[in-house]
Amino acid sequence: MKKFIALMATLVLTLGLVGISDARQPRQQRDSVAGTFDYYLLTLSWSPTFCLMHPENEQCSGKGYGFVLHGLWPQYAKGGWPESCPPLTPLTQQERAKGLTLFPTAKLMNHEWTKHGTCSGLGGMGYLDAADKALATVQIPQALQPSTTVRYLEAKQIAQQFRQSNPGIAENGIAILCSGPELSEVRVCLTRDLEFGPCGKGVKTQCRAGDIRIPPIR
């Protein structure tokens, strides 16, 4: 009887530790399933601002980038996103070649595929084709093309410029992000069919009031 009680106590303790370990895992990570999401967030990074903080990055070697593809991110409408969805397979040589026509660096491409692309449920080439189509869907306003001179605009003016160039963008379908006083990113919400759509919970403009600085190209 004593052996049976000891055995049961060990089993209960083991199951309890497993439960604690499982509870400590981020809920978002446990729930991440490829293909299970509501919409995409196309994130365009203003390269000159990135290069102010990362001048050694190969993206910043005098290539004159303006907006570059940061990523195409599957999102949940109620907030949050899936990430690093299994199986975490690397991109093939053919897929990498395609990706390098879209992303400014191989390091960024590999990171975006592993963290976000795997959750699209499209496979490597399918995800990259979707990113290519998303980029073609959003037209960069003429006033925000690469320039050698610094410019100043309010966040709402930047959003307005994008809406004028892309009439389908909804009032709640775009967010402007800043790094301190400078433009950092523009995020556009797209449906799973890569058409303009509303953003989910938590996607909003994050810039100070008044003019924000748009650094010139490097």
26 vs 190: CA distance, rounded Å = 26
How far lies 108's CA from each of 68, 117, 125, 143, in Å?
11, 12, 16, 27
81 and 16 within one domain: no
Q: How does the average pLDDT of the chain come out, rounded?
A: 89
141 and 42 within one domain: yes
65 and 20 within one domain: no
Question: What is the pLDDT tens value at each position of the chain, 218 positions in all?
Answer: 444 444 444 444 444 433 433 333 444 445 799 999 999 999 999 999 999 999 999 999 888 999 999 999 999 999 999 999 999 999 999 999 999 999 999 999 999 999 999 999 999 999 999 999 999 999 999 999 999 999 999 999 999 999 999 999 988 999 999 999 999 999 999 999 999 999 999 999 999 999 999 999 97
Q: For the chain, how many structural domains are there in total?
A: 2
122 and 24 within one domain: no
178 and 85 within one domain: yes
42 and 6 within one domain: no
156 and 72 within one domain: yes
Q: State the DSSP code for 144.
A: G
Catalytic residue positions?
70, 112, 116
173 and 70 within one domain: yes
> pLDDT at position 51, please?
96
Helix spans in the chain (H): 2-24, 27-30, 47-53, 93-99, 106-115, 123-137, 155-165
Q: What number of other Cβ atoms are within 10 A of residue 123's Cβ?
A: 16
| CA dihedral (148, 150, 152, 158) positive or negative | positive
Task: Give per-residue pLDDT as tens, 47-99.
Answer: 999 999 999 999 998 889 999 999 999 999 999 999 999 999 999 999 999 99
65 and 10 within one domain: no
201 and 131 within one domain: yes
49 and 21 within one domain: no
166 and 132 within one domain: yes
CATH code of the domain in which 182 resides: 3.90.730.10
What's the whole-model pTM score?
0.85
* Residue 86 lies in domain: 32-214
